[in-house]
Structures are given as structure tokens and as C-alpha cells.
Amino acid sequence: MLIRSDAAPEAVSAVRDSMKQSAARQAGDRAKLTLQGFLELERYLAPISGRKNVFWFSGSFPIGSIPSAMPNHPEDSRTAEQKLGPARVAIYPISAVGLLNASGAIMDPSQGLTTRATATLPNPAQAAGDNDQQIAMESIARETGGQAFYNTNGLDRAITQAVADGGHYYTMAYTPANAALDGKFRDIRVRLAKGNYKISYRRGYYAEPGAPQSANVAPQNPLLELMRFGMPDFDQIAYNVRAAPENPQPPQGSPPAGANRDLKGPVTRYGVDFFIPLSQLKLAPGVDGARHGTLQLMLVAYRKNGYPVNLVESKNEFNLNREVYESGRNVNIHARQEIDVPSEAAYLRVGLYEQASGNVGAIDVPLPAAPPPKN
């Protein structure tokens, strides 16, 4: 419209720059959401034994680019690759765009493979974008041991091949000659002594514990993203939880329990007890055979429509002397949190995160919960 109305070149240029910046921000948001989705998927699938094959159907794969609007994208991508590989999650990206012929025209699958659709690629930039998409697909497949499928209308054949390939695999392990845990990337190469075969496997890993974050990058809360409404349960740490209204309720005027200081109307104080088996935790050895660890606990109350109304979190450090630790692995660690819940709350999301292992346990508790039995 600006060009048609003979707008000043400076105005046209400013609008174009603004549109480019907006597109970069949107691309960064899509890339971040995609990588977060991979991390959440890894936590959900990690407790399942064996190899897990994930078929990813999409018309675009935003993880291939590193937009300037998302400066920490390389670290996020690195974290996703580091997590998916050890969890034995293989990604099979499958493009839903369709077949492109040599001239760039899209073949319409609904009209048969011999009929060319009228839509063509509008400019070379579009073709370059398609190449970027294919590179992104190949990258995520290569780093996780999967396979990419694109430039095809035979989606059924692609799925059949992916299922067949994913059903035949070997599990291999080795001890690296370089034992330094410096966070650097280590290449992995697998070669066959005989035969002309193309094999799929992880191409490398980052030596844990990894390089520290830069000073200008704020540390992320590893549990918060998994406590969103509608997230599945996570059982990397299996534990028992008991949530019930406090009996008796705190007297009027008591300090509120939770981050939301603006709760209106009557609220119910809930007590939530965690019973975490010692065998589920990775405890660091200390002096004289003692063990210690750190657990982050979180409660989030949600309305039926998914709107959060209150939140409580705490970090709990505990120490076990040698006698208690060696008395049996059936010992439970007990922790407790309290939260004020308004009457409109329908769900309570309960979660814990162990700092040493990076494992999570999270579950939804429907509200209102039954009150505890009277003594």
C-alpha cells in the first residue's frame, strides 16, 4: 500500500525493516517452543525402556535457523540434542509439504502423481528456505539416530520405512579415551567392517557437566516449564503424594501461603506431603559416608480453564548420615508444602525436581481433595 500511494522511500524501508524484525521474533518464538517441546517429550519418554521412535509431521521445521531474536538458541538446541540421545529418542522428521519437481512446482497429491498443481515457488528465496528446512530435518534426524523424509507424496511409504528401520537396531556402548568433563562436543563414528550399508546413529555428545552459562544468561527454572496446565505426568522420579485441606484451617488474618497475594474470596489451605523413596534419588557422597541432595518442590493451582491462580515453590536440602543411608533403600524422604487454593480452582499440579540427576516427577491432583480423616 505504501508503494502504491507513492510513500517516501524512507517510510517504505522502515516498514520493511519492521516486518523483518517481526518475522525474526516470530521465528525465534517458534524455534524456542519447538525445542521446549522436545525437552518435555524427552522427559515423558525417558522412563520408558528401549528405543523410542518419534514421527514428526510438519510443513516447516523451525529449529534449522538461529534467528538473532533468540540469542540463546544454540544452547537450547544443544540441550535438546544432549537429552534426546541418551534417552534413546530417535526423531523421524516427515515433511507434509509434498513433492517438488525440478522446476519447483508442487505436485498436488489429490490430483495424482502425473498432474502438476498451478502453484509454483514464487522466488529463489522460497527455494532457499526449502533447502534450510531439509537441512534442519537432516540435522535433527542425524543427531538422534533417526531419518528424514521429504520431497515425497508417499507418506504411507515413508511411515512404513521409518517403522521398519526403527524396529531393527543395536545398542552399543564405549568408554571414551578423553575423560575430561569440559562440556565440549565429542564426535562419534561407527563403521562397518564389511558391506555397503548406510547406518543411522548419534553423531556425538557433549561431555557433561558442560560449560557454565555466560554471565548475561539468566538461569532457567527446569521445573516451571513442566508445571504448565495440560502437561502429561512425569515419572522419572516415582513418589507418593498426599494433598488434603488442613484441619483445622489457619485462623483469619494468617499470612498467605503462595505467591499470589491478591487472592479474593474464601480460600482453603491445603497441605501437600511428599514421600520420596531414597532409591529414586541420586545422592552425592559426603564426609564420613553421609549423603546429601537438593530437591525443588512446586505446587500450582489452576482453574478449570487452565488459568493459574496460585503457586508455591521451595528448595529443600537434606543430609543423611551413613547409618540411615545404609539402613535400607526403602527409606522415604518426607517433605511438605502448603498452598492457599480459591474455590474456583479445579486442579493442583504437584512436582519435584532433583538437582543432581535432573529428573522430574509431576502429577495433577483434581480439586477439591477429600479432607484428612479426623484423629
Which of the two residues, 333 and 39, has the higher pLDDT score? Answer: 333
Cell triple for residue 86?
A: 541418551
The average pLDDT across 62-90 equals 59
Percent of the chain whose pLDDT exceeds 70: 73
Hey, which of 14-23, 155-164, 231-240, 325-334 has the most confident mean pLDDT?
231-240
Which of the two residues, 347 and 16, has the higher pLDDT score? Answer: 347
Contact in structure between 179 and 157 (CB atoms under 8 Å): no
With bands split at pLDDT 50, 70 and 90, how would you rate the model's confidence at 23?
Answer: low
Nearest-5° Cα angle at 164, 158 to 168: 145
Specify the pLDDT at position 187.
82
With bands split at pLDDT 50, 70 and 90, how would you rate the model's confidence at 348?
Answer: very high
**Beta strand extents in the chain (DSSP E only):** 52-58, 89-95, 99-100, 105-107, 116-120, 185-187, 204-206, 234-235, 240-245, 267-277, 284-285, 291-303, 308-320, 332-342, 345-354, 360-366
With bands split at pLDDT 50, 70 and 90, how would you rate the model's confidence at 121?
Answer: very low
Specify the pLDDT at position 77.
57
Specify the pLDDT at position 109.
45
Phi and psi for 145 in degrees, rounded to 5? 85, 20
Contact in structure between 205 and 85 (CB atoms under 8 Å): yes
What's the whole-model pTM score?
A: 0.55
Alpha helices (H) along 111-243: 124-144, 155-166
First to last CA, the chain: 76
Hey, which of 70-74, 212-216, 233-237 has the most confident mean pLDDT?
233-237
With bands split at pLDDT 50, 70 and 90, how would you rate the model's confidence at 184?
Answer: confident
Is a pLDDT exceeding 50 seen at residue 115?
no
Q: How many CB atoms lie within 10 A of CB 367?
A: 20
Domains defined for the chain, CATH in brackets: 9-171 (no CATH), 224-366 (2.60.40.10)
Which of the two residues, 63 and 347, has the higher pLDDT score? Answer: 347
Is a pLDDT exceeding 50 seen at residue 213?
no
Range scoring the smallest mean pLDDT among 75-84, 324-333, 356-365? 75-84
